């Protein structure tokens, strides 16, 4: 696709996980730019509540990203936004805890939502882009898709997989005029990261900070973008060091306890909700 900055008001978007956090901030930002937006979320009522004040160009419906039938019903019910120009695969969950204590069904759900959800979205939305010879997929992963952390083993694995899927599909789809970008936020002040302590040297960001980067990435596509941007240099620089030195630095900056040091009380409501599905 052309590298000339895109006018978002001419584009049609699908945003998954659009009723909360990064997804909601992205929907609201796109709506302010005049874009047509289909908001998908497992909580259909909340998705419609988010869309209602944003005008007729924003529509919403329930969406379970792990189910092909749910994707098909969602796309049919939001078809009024027109052929999808940009798919933002944002839906994700982050239950935390030691892997040895993690129930099998929870591990499967993490992988289903965080990986299979964006795989299904790609399979069901991108063929139309290929047919038209243009389109853009933005996969919202996480910094732990590059730097794994204790007490988030399955979550880290799912985000590493999301990064790998993004890189592979970028190569596959480029000949058809379809861009693929991956966005890697660090700690975001949303319910998903409730109780997760900040690390030294990397400030927490807001959902709108991430939405702003998503908007910029759609306007001028880039393969991989971190939020905040400087965190990429910090992470990649540390990976050039010997493992022992990496461990010392991670401890000094409290990065090694970013997830294992989360406050259980602050996370209780979120953990209960995602474990219920």
Q: CA geometry: angle at 208 spanning 207 and 214, to 5°?
A: 95
Reply yes or no on whether 155 is catalytic. yes
**Phi and psi dihedrals of 134, rounded to 5?**
-165, 155
Q: How far is CA 114 from CA 2, 56, 110, in A?
A: 30, 30, 6
Q: Reduced to 3 DSSP states, what percent helix, strand and coil does the chain have, rounded to the nearest 5?
A: 55, 15, 30
Tokens representing 67 are 């189910």
Which of 155, 176, 230, 270 is labelled catalytic? 155
Which residue is it, tokens 């259909």? 44
Q: CA geometry: angle at 50 spanning 181 and 140, to 5°?
A: 15
Residues serving a catalytic function are 155
């Amino acid at each position: 696709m052309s590298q000339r900055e895109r006018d978002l008001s001419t584009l049609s978007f699908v945003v998954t996980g659009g009723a909360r956090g990064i997804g909601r901030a992205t929907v609201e930002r796109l709506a302010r730019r005049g874009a047509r937006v289909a908001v998908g979320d497992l909580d259909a009522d909340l998705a419609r509540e988010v869309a209602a004040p944003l005008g007729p160009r924003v529509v919403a419906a329930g969406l379970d990203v792990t189910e092909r039938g749910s994707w098909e019903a969602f796309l049919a019910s939001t078809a009024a936004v027109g052929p999808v120009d940009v798919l933002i695969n944002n839906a994700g969950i982050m239950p935390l805890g030691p892997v040895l204590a993690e129930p099998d069904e929870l591990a499967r759900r993490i992988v289903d939502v965080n990986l299979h959800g964006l795989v299904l979205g790609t399979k069901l939305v991108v063929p139309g882009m290929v047919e038209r010879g243009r389109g853009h997929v933005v996969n919202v992963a996480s910094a732990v898709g590059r730097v794994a952390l204790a007490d988030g083993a399955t979550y880290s694995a799912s985000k590493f997989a999301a990064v790998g899927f993004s890189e592979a599909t970028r190569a596959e789809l480029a000949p058809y005029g379809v861009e693929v970008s991956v966005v890697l936020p660090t700690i975001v002040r949303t319910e998903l990261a409730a109780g997760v302590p900040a690390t030294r040297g990397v400030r927490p960001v807001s959902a709108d900070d991430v939405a702003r980067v998503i908007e910029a990435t759609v306007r001028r596509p880039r393969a991989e973008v971190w939020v905040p941007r400087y965190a990429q240099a910090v992470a990649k620089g540390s990976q050039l060091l010997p493992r022992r030195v990496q461990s010392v630095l991670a401890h000094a900056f409290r990065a090694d306890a970013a997830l294992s040091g989360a406050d259980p009380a602050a996370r209780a409501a979120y953990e209960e909700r995602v474990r219920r599905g």
